[in-house]
Amino acid sequence: MTATTADAPPPELRLPKRRGVELALLVGAVLISVFGYAAVGLTHDGAVPPDVAGYGGGLGALALLAHAAVRFRAPYADPLLLPIAVLLNGVGLVLIYRLDLETPRDQAAPTQLVWSTLGVALFTAVVVLLRDHRVLQRYAYLSVAAALVLLTVPIFFPAVNGAKIWIRIGGLSFQPGEFAKILLAVFFAAYLAANRNALAYTGRRAWKLQLPSGRVLGPIVAIWLLSVGVLVLERDLGTSLLFFGLFVILLYVATGRTGWIAVGLLLASVGAFAVGSFEPHVHGRVQDWLDPFASIDAGRGPGQLAQSLFAFAAGGMLGTGLGAGHSILIGFAAKSDFILATAGEELGLSGLTAVLLLYALLVARGYRAGLALRDPFGQLLAIGLASILALQVFVITGGVMGLIPLTGMAMPFLAQGGSSVVTNWIIVALLIRLSDVARRPHPEQVETGVVAAAGEADR
């Protein structure tokens, strides 16, 4: 626990930076990933993979690079964010490498490692270049415009597995919708921070609900239409759910009006029901959720969801052990949407719970930064980014485990998918910046002697 002090604040206000803790946790995160990598090799070939040192060194170098950026540019940042991101990314690489063993002709781990490197590089760039998150507020409308462009471009590209969410240029393909999440979070946070009071206190009262006025209702309806539009045109139920959930959460946090939630849920369910009934691709997903084993009874063999449930069931409490499961039976999406099934089968309920709790910690730390921040934009941005993670984890985990209809979406950091990894590294970079601002000692603290909400203060 070495709390280095860069600029000596007054002694009675020596706020801990916790960079040493972060470093120790990073070492642990890298070691866990390396052990996982070795375990896969031992199970599969009876020997530790020859390049285990290279893998450990590579992941360690990425972690150190990110850590250096945080240490020098965001010294007060929350020490848990980066180690959790590194651990999840490392475990994801191990799981993908493990699945690559079953598909010799289709290697995904090296590509994923390249994308992870790019993600860490962008993380470093954001931490280094973005000194103050409030800069982003200025670009709110630019963000939303860019997000809309990114979302609509894939419509002009061919569909992949029934969803039009890809842009293919040459050999590279990426999902612009992933980046749109961040841009939309920035826009929502900025828009709501600016219009909080107008949204909360104008408009008519009907019975006990404070209804919004038409002028501020406009953008909301627009957003709703946008998400349904995405759903219909791109058949991407997950992203539309995410946008909508994100918007409703931020709207509630900004205005505190429960009426909004009621309206939001109503609109969402109407939209979801309509699309679920009339859009064949989505309708099929809903049918599959209602009865995952229908295809078996019909003699067509188990579908992906059934295979996924089989994998989770095979894991039981303790799992089969890394490299000893058969989650490859799920088929083509085993490394991406269904990566969690491999975790569930080979690490068991215990391992799956650990993974989910890592995400929960990440989300909780985002919320904690939001609580400690003082400007509405920062608060809403922190909550928005944390909620994106939370909703993504819920939508995809619930989907592959039969809790909700399955939607194509990548598990943050874990799943194969370059756009997703890069986007999530940027989200963590923004959270690092936000938590750094939140925990930084304020000048007025020195004057009044009030200790601000540092990360340690439990409120």
Partner 1 sequence: MIRHIRRAAAFCLLLLVALLVNAARVQLFEAGELDDNPANRRDAIARHDQPRGDILVGDRPVTGSEDTGEQLGFERTYLHGPLYAPVTGYASQTYGTTLLENAEDGVLSGTDSLLAPLPFWNEFTRSRQPGGDVVTTVEASMQRAAYEGLRGRRGAVAALDPSTGAILALVSTPSYDPERLSGTGAAVTDAWTRLNASTTMPMLNRAIRQTYPPGSTFKIVTAAAALDSRTVTDADAATDTPSPYVLPGTRTTLPNEAKGCEEASLADAIRVSCNTVMAHLGVEVGLDGMVEAAEKFGFNDAGLRIPSGVARSNFDTDMSDDQLALSSIGQFNTTATPLQMAMVASAVANGGDLRRPHLVDRVTTDDGDTVRQEGSGASAWAMSPSTAVQLQRMMVEVVENGTGSNAAIDGVEVGGKTGTAQHGVDNSGLPYAWFISWARAPGSGRPAVAVAVVVEDASADRADISGGGSAAPIARAVMEAALDEAEAARR
Q: Which residues bind partner 1 (CB under 8 A)?
A: 249, 252-254, 256, 293, 296, 301-302, 306, 309-310, 312-317, 326, 329, 344, 348-349, 352-353, 356, 359-360, 363-364, 367, 370-371, 376, 379, 383, 386-387, 390-391, 393-394, 397-398, 401-403
Minimum CB–partner distance for residue 239 and partner 1 (Å): 17
Task: Please name the residue ranges forming H helices in 46-170.
Answer: 52-73, 81-100, 109-129, 140-152
Minimum CB–partner distance for residue 362 and partner 1 (Å): 11
Q: What residues are paired with 265 via a beta bridge?
A: none
Phi and psi, residue 163, nearest 5° = -120, 135
Cα–Cα distances in angstroms (integers) from residue 110 to residues 2, 29, 107, 375, in the given order: 36, 20, 7, 41
Of 165 and 267, the one with the shorter C-beta distance to partner 1 is 267
For residue 115, which of 413, 386, 336, 408 has the smallest C-alpha distance? 413
For residue 282, which of 338, 337, 234, 235 has the smallest C-alpha distance? 235
For residue 122, count CB atoms less than 10 angstroms from its CB and return exposed for 0-12, middle for 13-18, buried for 19 or more.
middle
Minimum CB–partner distance for residue 94 and partner 1 (Å): 20
Of 11 and 46, the one with the shorter C-beta distance to partner 1 is 46
Minimum CB–partner distance for residue 315 and partner 1 (Å): 6
Token pair of 431 as six digits: 């959270």
Inter-residue contact 243 to 259 (CB < 8 Å): no
Minimum CB–partner distance for residue 68 and partner 1 (Å): 31
Of 165 and 246, the one with the shorter C-beta distance to partner 1 is 246
Q: In degrees, to the nearest 5, what angle opens at C-alpha 197 toward C-alphas 196 and 199?
A: 70
Of 213 and 353, the one with the shorter C-beta distance to partner 1 is 353
Q: In degrees, to the nearest 5, what angle opens at C-alpha 359 toward C-alphas 229 and 380?
A: 55
Cα–Cα distances in angstroms (integers) from residue 89 to residues 182, 193, 341, 385, in the given order: 19, 33, 16, 18
Of 26 and 386, the one with the shorter C-beta distance to partner 1 is 386
Of 157 and 252, the one with the shorter C-beta distance to partner 1 is 252
Of 167 and 371, the one with the shorter C-beta distance to partner 1 is 371
Of 150 and 328, the one with the shorter C-beta distance to partner 1 is 328
Map residue 47 onto helix, strand or coil. coil
Minimum CB–partner distance for residue 194 and partner 1 (Å): 14
Map residue 158 onto helix, strand or coil. coil
Of 214 and 256, the one with the shorter C-beta distance to partner 1 is 256
Minimum CB–partner distance for residue 46 and partner 1 (Å): 15
Minimum CB–partner distance for residue 178 and partner 1 (Å): 21
Cα 246 to its chain centre, rounded Å, is 12
What does the alpha-carbon distance between residue 79 and residue 451 come to, in Å, rounded to a whole number?
20
What does the alpha-carbon distance between residue 416 and residue 339 come to, in Å, rounded to a whole number?
8
Minimum CB–partner distance for residue 368 and partner 1 (Å): 9
Of 278 and 293, the one with the shorter C-beta distance to partner 1 is 293
Minimum CB–partner distance for residue 267 and partner 1 (Å): 18
Torsion sign over Cα 423, 175, 237, 162: negative
Of 56 and 344, the one with the shorter C-beta distance to partner 1 is 344
Minimum CB–partner distance for residue 452 and partner 1 (Å): 14
Q: How many Cβ atoms are within 10 Å of 361's Cβ, its own excluded?
A: 14
Residues 6 or more apart whose CB falls under 8 angstroms from that of 112 comprise 92, 93, 96, 416, 418, 421
